[in-house]
Structure 1
């Protein structure tokens, strides 16, 4: 594990593997390197790329420096780009995709983006999203995790299977950062997407609900250089073996 210094002094813990053009993987809400769905994908991509995985601020081995703003997450990505020493591509999953979009909109040295099911409400200043953030601020621990996962549409049987698992305990340990992800979503609208000129592949899973697939399609249409593709998978997820070749092919392009 290495660390990179973000602009506000936050230490961002990261690891790298493989060789080739650099790709930074950005986890979803409640996830970090020790509790991530990106491990298998990272291993497969490392055949072709230098893969960077990191703990978003306030999670895992990274530190934090409140108050949170999306701009600080962009600064975290900027610190990792300095570590890479050359332009990078970004892969973002769920709210990690929002971090990637903000980084690209800010003009960081990013070649390409690949995003899996970014949770985007294109409406500016959405009252629904603001109410969601307000409620999250009032909750902590398991209550915050339960509320967050229920409200984003995690199926009841999936939610029941998560309770009591190591994954559940890990999410509870970083429950305070769920508010960060909601604030990030508040700051992501059609205006921001219009500023992202980076070539972007937006993916969804055929096993997801209409809300998730619809948001992916809308995001791709709103991006000046966006492409949309659906892959076979489960709810809000695509197996790494299916995902990796598609992502690698897109990121390897000129």
Structure 2
């Protein structure tokens, strides 16, 4: 494990996988994930072993071994975290994000120097008012739950109200071993919401907000994912100056590494 210090003094923990000469890539997880999440580790290994990339797999603030900024939830802080990691990597890196991590990577590309490319896997932009639009007061209810240490309640609330997951499905998840991991990272959901809140309102994305992202961007979605996520992925690809959209066969929001990693590696290395 290695660490960097972000602009506000928060310590961010990361692993470096590989030491190749094909460039550096930073993996950015989505809600409830961490650098220990199997998919993150497996993607890192494939990109390092098969594509010669140096991979930084990090814990977003409030998760795993990274420190937190309790009560302070601002997407600018997470953008600054990526900037600190890029500086530690030598000043240049591509960003590969999953779900809210994909949105964070795109936000970072707007202002952070040294971002060379972005791969955004299913950023959960809600661009259709007919889809699940989270309540406007979500933060005012979420933050007190986190402050009170109500981790299970936080998980249920975020899954259903922010992500739109059916209560029955959440109830089934509650009795699986996976729930423990969700609870362990539940406090970080306020950071996810700080990133996503402006872009889950059921309106089309504003191209003017993204016109500074002139680097190449690959936006990915699986053909087995929800229509809402596909709409969001196509929506952001349509407003970015230099983006392409690709649909991955046989893939849902919980991606198959053997399909996702080659798509990412080929794009980053130009194969």
Is this a same-fold pair by TM over 0.5?
A: yes
SS at match of 2:215: coil
Point out where structure 1 has 5 or more consecutive residues left out of the alignment.
none
Is 1:170 aligned to residue 181 of structure 2? yes
- Aligned residue for 1:133? 139
Among 205, 229, 247, the alignment partner of 2:222 is 205
Farther off after superposition, 10-19 or 62-71 = 62-71
Q: Is the 8 A contact 1:102 1:192 kept in 2?
A: no
Deviations 1:102-152 (A, max 9, x none): 1101132111000110011359xxx84633333323433111211222231
- Residue equivalent to 1:243: 260
Separation in 1, partners of 2:261, 2:241: 24
Match of 1:75 in 2: 80
2:62 to 58, 64, 72: 58
Q: Which moved more, 1:239-248 or 1:135-144?
A: 135-144
Q: Which runs of 5+ in 2 are unaligned?
A: 200-204
CA distance in 2 between counterparts of 1:134 and 1:98 reads 22
Distance 1:244 1:35, change over 3 A: closer
Q: Does 1:40 align with 2:42?
A: yes
Q: Is the 8 Å Cα contact of residues 98 and 122 (structure 2) preserved in structure 1?
A: yes
Q: CA deviation at 1:88?
A: 0.6
Question: Could you say which residue in structure 2 is the equivalent of 1:3?
Answer: 3
Match of 2:192 in 1: 181
Judged with a 3 Å threshold, the aligned counterparts in structure 2 of structure 1 residues 37 and 157 are, in CA distance, closer, same or farther, namely farther
SS at match of 1:130: coil
Instruction: Tell me if structure 2 keeps the 8 A contact 1:144–1:175.
Output: yes
182-191 vs 55-64, greater mean Cα deviation: 182-191
Alpha carbons of 1:129 and 1:228: their partners in 2 closer, same or farther (altered >3 Å)?
farther
- For residues 143-197 of structure 1, the C-alpha deviation after alignment (integer angstroms, 9 at most, x for no partner) is 1211222231446675455324443112212222212211211244534333322
1:245, distance to aligned residue in structure 2 (A): 1.1
* Cα distance between partner residues in 1 of 2:227 and 2:76: 30
Matches within 5 A, 1:11-160: 11-18=11-18, 19-20=20-21, 21-47=23-49, 48=51, 49-66=53-70, 67-121=72-126, 128=134, 130-139=136-145, 140-151=150-161, 152-154=163-165, 159-160=170-171
CA distance in 2: counterparts of 1:37 and 1:160, whole angstroms: 23
Q: Secondary structure at the match of 1:236?
A: coil
* In 2, Cα distance between equivalents of 1:75 and 1:120: 21
Say which SS state the counterpart of residue 65 (structure 2) adopts.
Answer: coil
Partners of 1:148 and 1:79 in 2: how far apart? 28
Corresponding position of 1:221: 238
Q: RMSD in angstroms over aligned alpha carbons?
A: 2.2
- How many pairs does the alignment contain? 251
